[in-house]
Amino acid sequence: MLSALKFKTSDRSGWPEITSVFGIPIDRGTLTDILKDIADIAQYGLRVPATVCLMNAFSVVEANRNPAHMTALRESDICLADGLGVAWLARTPKIAGADLMLAAARHPELGKMRHVLLGGFGVAYRAALRQWAEAGVPPYCKPFIPEVTLDGDIVVWANETPCDILWVALGCPRQELWMHANRDRLKAKVVIGVGAAFDFLAGRIRRAPRWMQGIGLEWLWRIVQEPSRWRRQVGAAAGFLRLLLR
């Protein structure tokens, strides 16, 4: 986390900037705070790309049983609460990947940077169109969508064009492990793992109604939307509860 801390200049109103949730350092702050941090990092740059991870119950449970995943999260530059349970424990607002992408497109600084969407395997292009259409502004630089397949060197595709912000949707924990393993090879300034955000923005998966998001029932909505994921969603909920009770 140390490489990006010096760029965190937004006012947190006296909050500690980072708190631990089951061993994972979670950055505390509003969406506005986080956007400023990311913009500052992208503007001033680091020797290697800064990595941003978004954490929900499944991510936390996976990290606590997968040491490599835990290491990737602990050595990232920013970890955000993308789940009501994680946000509640960290006492910080929840920031979902899709919301972060839309807000970045609207942001006066980030909206003028070069964006690459990597992953999604078929939905990234539609996600990019929605990202900028919903922001209500034309992209300063047209988002670049590499033609990615499951085989081959994904880093090569990611580096095909100059890039400020690289959005990665490879699924958890694959995307966090990939970002951690390849950050020395990537040319982007900030690399952000956003999980299912491409699917949501592209309309392939409908987001839960806001009232369900507000009471932490997104996992149940995902089961309804994708019944094949019920084992993963129920397992994440049960695993998170075990962590709370231990």
Q: What is the pLDDT of residues 93-134, one digit of tens each?
A: 999 999 999 999 889 999 888 888 887 666 777 777 777 777
| Helix extents (H) in 21-108 | 31-44, 57-65, 67-74, 84-90, 97-106
Lowest pLDDT segment from 34-48, 97-111, 148-162: 148-162
Same domain, 131 and 177: yes
Neighbours of 216 (CB within 10 A): 17
- CA terminus-to-terminus distance, the chain: 27
Asked whether residue 13 carries a pLDDT value surpassing 60, the answer given is no
For residue 93, which of 101, 103, 82, 77 has the smallest C-alpha distance? 82
For residue 144, tell me if it sits in a domain. Answer: yes
For residue 2, tell me if it sits in a domain. Answer: no
Domain encompassing residue 83: 26-202
Number of domains in the chain: 2
Same domain, 137 and 181: yes
Same domain, 237 and 176: no
Residue 48: per-residue pLDDT: 84
Q: Is 153 helix (H, G, I), strand (E, B) or coil?
A: coil
For residue 30, tell me if it sits in a domain. Answer: yes
Tell me how far apart the alpha carbons of residues 84 and 88 are, in angstroms, rounded to a whole number: 6
For residue 101, which of 201, 172, 27, 20 has the smallest C-alpha distance? 201
Residue 26: per-residue pLDDT: 95
Same domain, 38 and 140: yes
For residue 168, tell me if it sits in a domain. Answer: yes
Strand partners, 25: 20
Same domain, 163 and 54: yes
For residue 12, tell me if it sits in a domain. Answer: no
Asked whether residue 88 carries a pLDDT value surpassing 60, the answer given is yes
For residue 197, tell me if it sits in a domain. Answer: yes
Residue 7: per-residue pLDDT: 42
Model pTM above 0.85: no
